[in-house]
């Protein structure tokens, strides 16, 4: 589906990411974990085609990204950590605006289901700057997926939200996973990772220490920790998984 080959990314001569090889399986849910500065967000941005790798190539269904960029962007939904929305618009106005902007025909059933699960109808006429952090994040997530993508990339989708909003978001991600969509999401929350992921990617210092399914992670946990035990947070999450 998506394949990364010999990827390197530099910011002003500083290497921030180096991935020899990584393939994303269709329908899998990848939990990406690692300390700050590990290159997790950069990895998602490369996959989302927001940024280009300095070296190496990304492939989509066997084709280099640059040849099928339009298809890539149609198939991928990227939800950034920042609230990438207009603060002056109401929830309904945001939906209308981004729907009109999207090149893909809206799937009304999908939209209805998403709005229902995330309970966005309750705040339909409120402006973004009148909403709490939890509602803003749910709307941000909804807009990022408005075109019903098959591959969903989430950069810490539940960071800084209240428990109720977090539950809504996790429930929606579970629904997507059950529908067969491919998920990649960054999280520092063990509970969230356990509930949603069937595959894991462990990153540190711009490299991928591990990628594979849950059972493989269990078998390699000690090796990963031996390799990089300098990050307390990573150690803590891994020991509980």
Partner 1 sequence: MYLSLHLRKWKTKSVRSLLAITFPLICFFLVYPFMQTTVQDTAVPIALVDEDQQEFSELMVERLYQEERIRIQLMTLEEMNHVVQTGEVEAGFVLEKGFTESVHNGQINDSIRWIRSERSTFDPFAKELIGAELMRIVLSSKAANVVSGEGVATWEEAYRYAESFWQPTPLFEMEFEQRNQNNPSSSSPVIQISEQIIFALFLLYAWGLGLVLFPSIIREKNSGIVQRIKLMQHHLFYYYAGKWLSILIAVIVTYILSSFGMLLVIPTSLWLPWVIWGVCVLAVTVTICYGLFVLCRHSKNVLVVIGLYSLGSFIMYMMVLSSIDLGGMEVASFFPHVWFGNNPLTYLGGIE
**Closest CB to partner 1 among 50 and 170?**
50
Q: Tell me: does residue 216 bind partner 1 (CB under 8 A).
A: no
Q: Tell me: does residue 144 bind partner 1 (CB under 8 A).
A: yes
**Per-position DSSP letters for 84-103, written without gaps between them:** -S-TTSBHHHHHHHHHHH-S
**Closest CB to partner 1 among 73 and 231?**
73
How far is residue 130 from each of residues 79, 90, 125, 136, 179, measured CA to CA in Å? 21, 9, 10, 9, 33
CB of 150 to partner 1, least distance (A): 14
Query: According to CB under 8 A, which residues from 110 to 129 bind partner 1?
Result: 127
Rounded CA-CA distance 226/228 in Å is 6
Residue at token pair 């690692």: 34
Q: Tell me: does residue 89 bind partner 1 (CB under 8 A).
A: yes
Out of 147, 181, 199, 211, name the contact with partner 1 by CB under 8 A.
Answer: 147
Phi, psi of 97 (to 5 degrees): -60, -50
Q: Which window, 10-18, 89-97, 203-211, 224-232, contacts partner 1 (CB under 8 A)?
A: 89-97
Residues 208, 7 contacting (CB under 8 angstroms): no
Binding site for partner 1 (CB under 8 A): 48-50, 69-70, 73, 76, 78, 80, 82-86, 88-89, 93, 97-98, 100-103, 127, 143-144, 147
């Amino acid at each position: 589906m998506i394949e990364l080959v010999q990827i390197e990314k530099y910011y002003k001569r500083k290497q921030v990411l180096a991935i020899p090889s990584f393939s994303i399986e269709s329908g899998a849910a990848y939990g990406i974990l690692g300390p700050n500065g590990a290159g997790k967000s950069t990895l998602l941005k490369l996959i989302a085609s927001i940024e280009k790798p300095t070296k190496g190539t990304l492939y989509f269904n066997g084709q280099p990204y640059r040849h099928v960029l339009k298809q890539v962007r149609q198939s991928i939904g990227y939800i950034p950590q920042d609230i990438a929305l207009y603060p002056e618009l109401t929830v309904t106005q945001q939906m209308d605006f981004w729907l009109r902007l999207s090149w893909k025909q809206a799937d009304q059933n999908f939209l209805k289901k998403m709005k229902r699960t995330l309970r966005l109808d309750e705040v339909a006429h409120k402006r973004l700057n009148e909403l709490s952090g939890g509602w803003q994040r749910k709307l941000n997530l909804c807009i990022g997926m408005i075109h019903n993508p098959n591959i969903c990339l989430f950069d810490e989708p539940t960071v800084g939200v209240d428990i109720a909003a977090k539950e809504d978001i996790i429930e929606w991600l579970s629904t997507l996973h059950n529908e067969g969509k491919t998920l990649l999401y960054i999280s520092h929350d063990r509970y969230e990772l356990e509930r949603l992921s069937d595959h894991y990617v462990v990153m540190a210092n711009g490299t991928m220490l591990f990628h594979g399914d849950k059972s493989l992670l269990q078998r390699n946990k000690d090796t990963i920790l031996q390799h990089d035990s300098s990050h307390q947070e990573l150690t803590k999450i891994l020991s509980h998984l």
